[in-house]
């Protein structure tokens, strides 16, 4: 129980179950994972939750991922946010980094590289 409590928390925001389950497979052994299915839900969770890291999809219903990123940065400026998306455009990556994203991971991702990026940011 005490071990579980020590795990760093990661908030994952993605509208697709398959992606959320993939994150679970890759990260749940070492991290405490929380899930949101859209931007407003994630922002609501962030009011009471202080995760060590956040993974954010770009194309989501209701609010666009980059807009959510802007609001997260206002709410929690120090929270590292990784953008995970199927769009591999340089402009999008630049925009995400300009808005304060810590990293940008294209889909489909390698589980090993995802783990490395996450652990480097949480350290």
Partner 1 sequence: MIFNVYGLINLINAFCALTITSIIFFKKGRKPIQLTYGLFSLLLFFYGFFYWRWSSETDISNALYWFKLLMYPTCVIHVVYFHFSLEICNKIQSFKRILIVGYILCFLFVLLNHFNVLYDLQYVRSRLPFLFWPHALPQLGFLIAFEVLTVLFSFYVLSISARESFGLSKLRYKYLLGAGIIGWAGAATNWVHFYDTIFIPPLGNPMISVYLLFTFYLIFKHDLLGLDFAIKRTFVYTLLTLSISLTYALFVTLSERFFNAYIGYSSFIGSAFAALTIAIMFVPLRDAITTIIDKRFFGMSIQELSQENLQMRQRLQNQDRMKAVATLAAGMAHEIKNPLTSIKTFAEYLPKKYDDPEFREKFSRIVVDEVDRVNNIVKQLLEFSKPSPPDLKPVLVGDLLDQTLGLLNNNMVRYNIEAIKELDMFALVQADRNQLKQAFLNLFLNAIQSMRDGGKLHVSVRTEQGGKTRISISDTGSGMAPDQIQHAFDPFFTTKEDGTGLGLAIVHSIITKHGGKIEIQSELGKGTAVNVFFKSRD
- In order of 25, 35, 104, 109, the CA distances from 6 in angstroms are 19, 18, 26, 27
Residue 89 CB, shortest distance to partner 1, in Å, is 7
Residue 56 interacts with partner 1 (CB under 8 A)?
A: no
How would you label 7-24 residue by residue, b for 16+ Cβ within 10 Å and e otherwise? eeebbbbbbeeebbebbe
Residue 13 CB, shortest distance to partner 1, in Å, is 14
Residue 22 interacts with partner 1 (CB under 8 A)?
A: yes
Name residues contacting partner 1, limited to 92-111 (CB under 8 A): 106-109, 111
Rounded to the nearest 5 degrees, what angle is found at the Cα of 54, between the Cα atoms of 53 and 58?
155
Residue 76 CB, shortest distance to partner 1, in Å, is 26
Residues that bind partner 1 (CB under 8 A): 15-19, 21-22, 25-26, 59, 61-62, 85-89, 106-109, 111
């Amino acid at each position: 129980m005490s071990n579980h409590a020590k795990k760093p928390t990661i908030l994952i925001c993605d509208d697709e179950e398959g992606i959320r389950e993939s994150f679970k497979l890759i990260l749940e052994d070492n991290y405490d994972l929380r899930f949101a299915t859209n931007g407003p839900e994630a922002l609501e969770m962030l009011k009471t939750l202080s995760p060590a890291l956040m993974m954010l999809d770009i194309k989501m219903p209701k609010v666009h991922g980059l807009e959510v990123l802007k609001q997260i940065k206002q709410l929690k400026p120090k929270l590292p946010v990784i953008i995970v998306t199927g769009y591999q455009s340089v402009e999008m990556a630049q925009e995400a980094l300009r808005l304060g994203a810590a990293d940008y991971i294209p889909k489909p991702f390698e589980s090993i590289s995802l783990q490395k990026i996450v652990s480097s940011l949480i350290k």
